[in-house]
Amino acid sequence: MLLSKSCIYGLRASLYLASQKSEGYTPIRKMSEDLEISFHFLTKIMQQLTADELLESFKGPNGGVRLKKSGDEITFMDIVMAIDGPALFTECALGLPGCGVEKPCPFHEQWAETRDNIKEMMEGTTINELAIKGKEENLRLTAKGGFEKFLQLE
């Protein structure tokens, strides 16, 4: 699996937030219900993204989380880095320690290229881009439901 479950949930929640029209905070409870993700688990992930300055949170009634900056300025990579960290891009595909420092392994050429592909894709994709596409085409963000389910009445 390329991304951890935590990371996947973080991405889905980020797209959810990017698709919200209002400037207000969205409660994690609501997100967890809409996205069919365990509330407490999602809370922890939101905390990570908040600690990483990608989201901002507010406690108490009318509280919740929201994007800290515009969804155009948050890339797929930002979320992946905040949750899974850089391991995917620094670690050897053969599990050997210290890639690039010591002698490479025979797989390096192929892996470096693949890795760069993944990197470019993630860095070149913003969550807004994905959210807009999701809204326009009513793509799905849970097992069954499309974006329409999450859109606030505008």
Partner DNA sequence: GTAATTTAAGATTAAATACTCTTAATTATT
Partner DNA sequence: AATAATTAAGAGTATTTAATCTTAAATTAC
Q: Is 4 in the site for DNA (CB under 7 A)?
A: yes
Q: How far is the CB of 128 from a second copy (least distance, A)?
A: 11
Pairing of strands 55-58, 64-67: antiparallel
In the numeric block, which tokens belong to residue 111? 């892996």
Measure the CA–CA gap between 133 and 138, rounded to whole angstroms: 8
Length of the chain as a residue count: 154
Applying CB under 8 A, the residues found at the interface with a second copy are 1-3, 5, 8, 11-12, 15, 76, 87-88, 91, 93-98, 102-108, 110, 113-114, 117-118, 121, 125, 130-131, 133-134, 137-144, 146-147
Q: Is 70 in the site for DNA (CB under 7 A)?
A: no
Measure the CA–CA gap between 65 and 63, rounded to whole angstroms: 7
Q: Are 11 and 74 in contact (CB under 8 A)?
A: no
Looking at 23, 61, 102, 148, which residue binds DNA (CB under 7 A)?
61
Three-class SS state of 55: strand
Q: Is 89 in the site for ligand SF4 (CB under 6 A)?
A: no
Q: Which does 100 bind (CB under 5 to 8 A by kind): ligand SF4, a second copy, DNA, none?
A: ligand SF4
User: What does DSSP assign to residue 152?
Assistant: P
Positions in 16-45 near DNA (CB under 7 A): 25-29, 38, 40-41, 43-44
Nearer CB in complex with a second copy: 70/110: 110
Measure the CA–CA gap between 58 and 34, rounded to whole angstroms: 20
Residues at the interface with ligand SF4 (CB under 6 A):
92-94, 96, 99-100, 104-105, 107-108, 111-112
